[in-house]
Amino acid sequence: MPERIPDIIDLALAEDVGLGDVTVKFFTDPTASTTALIVVRQAACLAGVDISAEVFRRVDSSLEINILRSNGSMLQSGDAVLSVFGNSGSILTAERTALNFIQRLSGTATMAGAYAKAVSGTGVKILDTRKTTPGMRALEKEAIAAGGATNHRMGLYDMVMVKDNHLALGPGIKDLQASITRARTENPHLKIEIEADTVEQALAFFLLQGVDVLLLDNMSLADLRKVVADRPHGITLEASGGVTLDTVREIAETGVDFISVGAMTHSAPAIDFGLDFKRAR
């Protein structure tokens, strides 16, 4: 489990449980034990089941937890993904936080799977973006991978990406080349990507030395085809901007290598999961 994930779980429990679960305190038998299942209510791709399990452990380390389906599994309505046995009150206290993680992460995985399926056979890979929930990036990127899409850079530190706002500060081609050369020299292991908004800009950037990826932002299909036709050997092309499930296939068929989709993390609908009790004793 990534190092920061326990902190996220602790934060989530702190905001929900606070000083204690007063409903459990007054309305459950503290000696009662229960078996419960987390069950999906709709077709989905699973992600976050391990995080949900950790939530239960964090609330009560004596709970017996069994993960029934692995992340990346395709689910049908009614499938159980996790079972938990132990103190009834502890299970109830952990329930909402555990479901919050699994429903949101599975929503991201499910949407990622839909985009990956939409471009199947084209050779194009679907990329995620940095448009993630603050503090949840590692988990959301794991969900993207579980769904069958591909992770882009994790943050500002693991890839050079010169976007339109960097270019808006006014560097000319000579300044860009000097900066690219310096970045390549000081960080030879990092990929360098630069954004182009027009065909003319893309053609100019093709002349730069040391660029690995050209990001083609909000270009029409016709313009994407023009850039693809003129690209030099060794340059990878990524399309982005306003991509939907209705348009992603035709974008892929222009010949680009990657399509980045922010919606997978910023707009994925949560999947309906519930916790069902099986017996009490």
The 10s digit of each residue's pLDDT in 84-121 is 999 999 999 999 999 999 999 999 999 999 999 999 99
Catalytic residue, chosen from 164, 212, 217, 272, is 217
**Is 160 in the same domain as 89?**
no
**Is 157 in the same domain as 232?**
yes
User: 255 in a domain, yes or no?
Assistant: yes
Query: Within the chain, what is the greatest distance between any pair of CA atoms?
Result: 75
All residues at 6 or more sequence positions from 239 whose CB lies less than 8 Å from its CB, including other chains: 216, 219, 224, 251, 254, 256, 258, 259, 260
Catalytic residue, chosen from 4, 163, 182, 278, is 163
**Is 165 in the same domain as 186?**
yes
Copy the structure tokens of residue 122: 């084209």
Catalytic residue, chosen from 131, 184, 226, 249, is 131
pLDDT of residue 128: 98
Copy the structure tokens of residue 188: 């030879």
Residue 256 sits in a domain whose CATH number is 3.20.20.70
Mean pLDDT of 238-259: 97
pLDDT of residue 279: 60
Check if 217 is active-site: yes
Total of domains in the chain: 2
User: 136 in a domain, yes or no?
Assistant: no
- In this prediction, residue 278 has a pLDDT band, given cuts at 50, 70 and 90, of confident
Residue 99 sits in a domain whose CATH number is 3.90.1170.20
Mean pLDDT of 23-51: 96
User: 138 in a domain, yes or no?
Assistant: no
User: 68 in a domain, yes or no?
Assistant: yes
User: Structural domain of residue 23, as residue ranges?
Assistant: 5-112+269-280
Check if 131 is active-site: yes
- In this prediction, residue 169 has a pLDDT band, given cuts at 50, 70 and 90, of confident
Q: How far is CA 5 from CA 14, 131, 153, 161, in A?
A: 14, 18, 19, 26
**Is 16 in the same domain as 92?**
yes
**Is 106 in the same domain as 12?**
yes
The 10s digit of each residue's pLDDT in 100-109 is 999 999 999 9
- Burial letters 36-51, b for 16+ CB under 10 A, else e: bbbbbeeebbbbbbbb
Check if 96 is active-site: yes
Catalytic residue, chosen from 195, 223, 238, 257, is 195
**Is 156 in the same domain as 248?**
yes
**Is 229 in the same domain as 274?**
no
